[in-house]
Structure 1
């Protein structure tokens, strides 16, 4: 399936539906996908590395969690499954992606704890205990920096952000850029060309 225009608000590609299956932390997932949405043919390798190498939330985890650039919702659904006491926000500019993420959360009986929204529809007062993202590097460095500058400051003072970045698409330079902004950044894994970064110490809360 084509991923062309997956970062557009309204994809031009005709909608061709399908399903993908994957497993995370001993749970099996089957999610609806469609053309015009990021990585509709398979679980994106970067997302797979992130879900395998980052520290997933656990049953006692509470508060709001954010899946930034949620696509059809694989990270959203995993977070909501692993943390039944948390509320998970899935945020994406792509309307088709949001429809699929909402559908997938409902199919997994997670709809009561999942909020899928366009970026401007997230209330200003919501802060996040965790932010998870396989951000859209193809929007360019300026766009990626603007995205993270908008959302990372909404991390709770003691919160953690988990990011996965392709090393060949600026993973190491992004690490350095975040450090320059005052964030504490640890590379916790490097696998299949992807860097998994743990970001803490919100400078906006200092």
Structure 2
């Protein structure tokens, strides 16, 4: 049985391919491979997110949570060239592809890190990568988070991941998450509210919800 895209080291045989990211402001051809999320084309949810979100902060620190081969992070890097963009994923093959895509398209403001499900730095299969984001980089805080989160990992893993990374938002920061309605977008909305992470539906299209999430004010 083929491993899922959220495995740290997918054993699916490599079959390199490409996928086109086509947006009103950006057109990229991205390297993909088997064993990563949506290798044949940029996922519809990702496109709904990127066509719905407001402009990211022009500078500061931006996060793509579950970056895959990089379409969200590279869009952030394009739209906010003065910002520092970090993409994180548990899948080593995906992170390697994202780094290659950033380098080939000249996005020097985007870096990618292999992480554990708990949001800590993970061991790189080939050893340390020169210039890779550090544990300090992972700690945030982040001025914006964009994510097409891996809903199919199950609620336990998903909730741990979201609590960890959304807790690294700045007090003024906003996360935008895209979730399919039939995969539990509305129940996730309620869970976020209950966690002190107030959520608002800001877009609904093609069976997807885009949620804007903030940290509740302290005190």
Q: TM-score under structure 2 normalisation?
A: 0.87
Residue of structure 1 in register with 2:32 after alignment? 33
Residue of structure 1 in register with 2:161 after alignment? 147
Shift of 1:118: 1.6
Distance 1:196 1:125 in 2: 25
SS at match of 2:102: helix
Pair 1:186–1:13, CA change in 2 (3 A): same
2:61 to 61, 64, 67: 64
Distance 1:56 1:8 in 2: 31
Residue of structure 2 in register with 1:81 after alignment? 78
Residue of structure 2 in register with 1:19 after alignment? 18
SS at match of 1:203: coil
Residue of structure 1 in register with 2:110 after alignment? 114
SS at match of 1:196: strand
Shift of 1:53: 1.0
Residue of structure 2 in register with 1:42 after alignment? 41
Pair 1:25–1:4, CA change in 2 (3 A): farther
Residue of structure 2 in register with 1:53 after alignment? 52
Provide structure 1 residue ranges, at least 5 long, that are not aligned to the other structure.
none
> Moved runs in structure 1, 4+ residues, more than 3 A?
203-206
Give yes or no for contact 1:69–1:93 (8 Å, CA) kept in 2. Answer: yes
The answer to whether residue 107 in structure 2 is matched with residue 94 in structure 1 is: no
SS at match of 2:8: coil
* Alignment size in residue pairs: 201
Distance 1:87 1:150 in 2: 20
1:165 to 179, 188, 200: 179
Shift of 1:178: 0.6
Give yes or no for contact 1:24–1:78 (8 Å, CA) kept in 2. Answer: no
- Worse overlay, 66-75 or 15-24: 15-24
Shift of 1:21: 1.1
Shift of 1:78: 0.5
SS at match of 1:62: coil
Shift of 1:43: 0.6
Provide structure 2 residue ranges, at least 5 long, that are not aligned to the other structure.
122-134
